Amino acid sequence: MSVTAGMQATEQGQRINECWRQIGVSGDRSCPELREHLHCRNCPTHAEIARRLLDRPLPAGYSEEWAQHFAQAAGRPETEDGARSVVLFRLGEEWLGLPTTTCHEIAEPRRIHSLPHRRTGAVLGIVNVRGELLICMSLPELLGINTGGRSSGGGKIAVFRRLIVIGRDERRVAFEVDEVHGMHSHGERDLIAVPATIGKSASTVIRAMLSWQGRTVGCLDEAALLAMIDRSIA
């Protein structure tokens, strides 16, 4: 059984012929390739199907569906103990958290197009996010965070830079981060005061600190951050 004959999937998302369930180890075992490979997982047909699945384009509505999922999670009412939900992300060695109500989308980094006469400062340029042109900010520049020696995350799992879109109503901007962990819920009693040693710029937008997995996370005040961004853009 060749690779071509063993699968009937296309880039348009047609159903795959799961030969391993029909004539393989999960079927009647009539596949002649089993004599050589012993198990379907050792067969190049099985490997090729897996590669096609991983490399296939995102289905229509995939991004919108997950955006709606995060929006619904963000809109859930607080519990009796005052639990809140934040999106945790990393800039260099610093972990920060933003209320999920502020985060509109998390995407792969886009090409940044520079703006005339704006070569320095926190405004990097504009990015195209699903057809919408958004101002792209440098959050490290804005908050005074040194990311010169960017961390790789400190683990064996690969981490990837991401683009986070935030804002309210029509005021949407984007910024790149070194890693996004995801959503995390915490209560008010889990928060601690901001230490006096924190940088001046960051201290104006970090409302509290949160202990998470042995790390200290700075919880950003969404209103103060958006106001700081507006001042930088003006």
Could you give the CA distance from residue 221 to residue 234 in angstroms, rounded to a whole number? 20
Q: Is 98 left (phi over 0), alpha (psi -120 to 50) or beta?
A: beta
Q: Would you state the pLDDT for residue 210?
A: 93
Local structure of 85: helix, strand or coil: strand
What is the mean pLDDT for each group of 10 consecutive residues in the chain (234 residues)?
38 62 86 85 78 64 63 53 84 93 90 78 90 92 80 59 86 92 89 81 88 92 92 84
Query: In this structure, how many other beta carbons lie within 10 angstroms of the beta carbon of residue 39?
Result: 11
Q: Would you state the pLDDT for residue 150?
A: 55
Q: Would you state the pLDDT for residue 19?
A: 85
Domain ranges of the chain: 3-55, 62-233
Q: Would you state the pLDDT for residue 45?
A: 83
Domain 62-233 in CATH 3.40.50.880? The answer is no
User: Which ranges of the chain does DSSP label H, i.e. alpha helix?
Assistant: 3-6, 19-22, 34-37, 44-55, 62-74, 139-143, 200-203, 222-233
Q: Would you state the pLDDT for residue 217?
A: 94
Please count the residues of the chain. Answer: 234
pTM: 0.63
